[in-house]
Amino acid sequence: MDKTTKRAIYILIIGNFLVCLGISLVIPVEPYIKKSYGLSTTDIGIMTALNAFTQFIISPIMGRVSDRIGRKKIIAWGMLMYVIAEAIFALSNHFWLFNISRVIGGFSSAMCLPASMAMASDMTSDQERAKVIGWLSAAFSGGLILGPGLGGLLAHITYKTPFWAAALLGLVSFVFTILFLPNETTEQTVKVPKMRIKEFLTPVLTVLFAMIFISSFGLQGFESIYSIYVNQVFNFGMGLIALVLTLNGLISLFFQVVLFDWLTQFFGELKLIAICFLSGSLATLWITQTHQTVSVIVATLIVFTAFDLLRPSITTLLTKTSHANQGLINGLNTSLTSVGNVIGPIIAGYLMDQNPNSPYLLVVVILFVSFLITILVHFVMFKSQHAAK
């Protein structure tokens, strides 16, 4: 990897981190906004979900556009929209303006995340791909993990301070993107021919996209009710819950930044995906059956680690399936992730109202079936490769 490519990857990592930071900065200030503006919990839920919903609609479109006009333009406009979104939120004194800010933020995410992943795929070889995807995934996870903490810290000044700080950092990232992200060559930005959906969605891509949705749905179904579940079933206090989530963040970053490239080289992406589905399923089942605090914590960390490795593993495999249409592939990747992020918490919350263990038992079944499908896909691919020889 030459110096220009490394510099571009670092800029993409910072941009991804900031965009994901912006998604989660709002979490610690939600109670203050709710109280100050007399909003209902439903109002806050809608405001929070608007970002993910916009990503779901716009990501495939922006991914396809980046295939046609180039990644840099889309990423730069996305970072500028990020600055605008954060500034509007900081200036807002009305609920409808908060919602507009979240929609613009969703546009920003839909432009930056798929185009960044596609650009990283364009610039790296298959051998380097896993390492870079791991870095970008760590930036993605890191922004979501650190956002609430940083937002809560800066909100001690005023509740608007986190969003002014994010807007300022976004402006710096926008300038760096314009100045230092390499321009694509004419060959890289040639018009992508139109294709029918049946031509694009090969059986392998269809299975991988399904895995993306399942991993996102499973993670959000697990994570969204985790604090309530362990408090209600195991009497975990807020301090212990915070400790577990902090440990998860540190372990996640370590696996994605340090170990992910080695794991993919040692196992291969498909085997690693199978291991993650199986270990996530068994550890989730373990949580529903154990009664010891240490066991719950260990099982929790296994589940989160499995999910944190699933997304970059599937994404790496996706980027290797086709050298063309990287923007569309990563746009659909982001879109399906957003769908899982919206649907997962809703279904998990509903099921938990019926029985505390039922959402986790659903996650167990879904992950185990996904493991069996992954084994079947691995067998079919191995058989076809062997027949080709």
Tell me the one-letter amino acid at 328. L
- pLDDT tens-digit series, residues 348-372: 878 888 888 888 899 899 889 889 8
Total domain count, the chain: 2
- pLDDT tens-digit series, residues 241-251: 778 877 887 88
292, part of any domain: yes
pLDDT band at 88 (very low <50, low <70, confident <90, very high): very high
Read off the pLDDT of each residue in 99-124 and give the average, rounded to a whole number.
88
97 shares its domain with 227:
no
- pLDDT tens-digit series, residues 12-57: 888 888 887 877 777 677 778 888 888 886 787 778 778 888 888 8
Read off the pLDDT of each residue in 272-290 and give the average, rounded to a whole number.
92
158 shares its domain with 290:
no
pLDDT band at 278 (very low <50, low <70, confident <90, very high): very high
pLDDT band at 187 (very low <50, low <70, confident <90, very high): very low
Tell me the one-letter amino acid at 291. H
Residue 84 has pLDDT above 90, yes or no: yes
103 shares its domain with 211:
no
Residue 186 has pLDDT above 50, yes or no: no
Among 343, 344, 340, 335, smallest CA distance to 56 is for: 335
208 shares its domain with 283:
yes
276 shares its domain with 360:
yes
Question: Which of 19-23, 140-144, 190-194, 299-303 is predicted least confidently?
Answer: 190-194
% the chain with pLDDT above 70: 90
How far apart CA 201 and CA 83 sit, in angstroms, is: 35
321 shares its domain with 273:
yes
How far apart CA 166 and CA 164 sit, in angstroms, is: 5
Residue 182 has pLDDT above 90, yes or no: no
CB proximity list for 251: less than 8 A, separation 6 or greater: 301, 304, 305
**Per-residue pLDDT, 386:** 58
88 shares its domain with 203:
no
252, part of any domain: yes
- The whole domain housing 160 covers 1-182
76, part of any domain: yes
158 shares its domain with 42:
yes
Q: Tell me the torsion sign for CA atoms 103, 77, 58, 6.
A: negative
191, part of any domain: no
Residue 188 is classified by DSSP as G
Residue 306 has pLDDT above 60, yes or no: yes
152 shares its domain with 4:
yes
pLDDT band at 382 (very low <50, low <70, confident <90, very high): low
**Per-residue pLDDT, 85:** 93
Residue 141 has pLDDT above 70, yes or no: yes
**Per-residue pLDDT, 332:** 78
Read off the pLDDT of each residue in 101-128 and give the average, rounded to a whole number.
86
Q: Output the domain CATH number for residue 202.
A: 1.20.1250.20
**Per-residue pLDDT, 107:** 92
% the chain with pLDDT above 90: 15
Question: Are the CB atoms for 217 and 346 separated by under 8 Å?
Answer: no
**Per-residue pLDDT, 61:** 87
Show the tokens assigned to 226.
Answer: 């985790």
237 shares its domain with 136:
no
pLDDT band at 324 (very low <50, low <70, confident <90, very high): low
216 shares its domain with 168:
no
What does the radius of gyration of the chain's CA atoms come to, in whole angstroms?
A: 21
How far apart CA 26 and CA 46 sit, in angstroms, is: 13
Q: Which pairs count as long-range contacts for 259-263, CB under 8 Å and 24+ apart, including other chains? A: 260/130, 260/131, 260/133, 260/134, 260/137, 260/309, 260/312, 260/313, 261/130, 261/131, 261/134, 263/309
Residue 193 has pLDDT above 80, yes or no: no
What CA–CA distances, in Å, run from 135 to 73, 300, 353, 375? Answer: 22, 23, 38, 27
List phi, psi (to 5°) of 42.
-60, -40
Among 10, 20, 299, smallest CA distance to 151 is for: 20
pLDDT band at 134 (very low <50, low <70, confident <90, very high): confident
**Per-residue pLDDT, 198:** 55
Residue 200 has pLDDT above 70, yes or no: no
Q: Of 182, 212, 238, which one is at a domain's C-terminal end?
A: 182
More confident residue, 289 or 149: 289
Among 137, 136, 86, 135, smallest CA distance to 107 is for: 86
Among 196, 287, 298, smallest CA distance to 244 is for: 298
50 shares its domain with 106:
yes
CB proximity list for 371: less than 8 A, separation 6 or greater: 274, 277, 278, 281
At how many degrees (to 10) do helices 95-123 and 293-321 cross? 60
More confident residue, 88 or 328: 88
Among 287, 270, 380, 330, smallest CA distance to 116 is for: 330
Start-end of H helices in the chain: 3-24, 30-36, 41-69, 71-91, 95-123, 126-154, 161-180, 197-200, 203-223, 226-234, 238-254, 260-267, 269-289, 293-321, 326-354, 358-388
List phi, psi (to 5°) of 160.
-90, -15
**End-to-end distance of the chain based on CA atoms, in angstroms?**
31
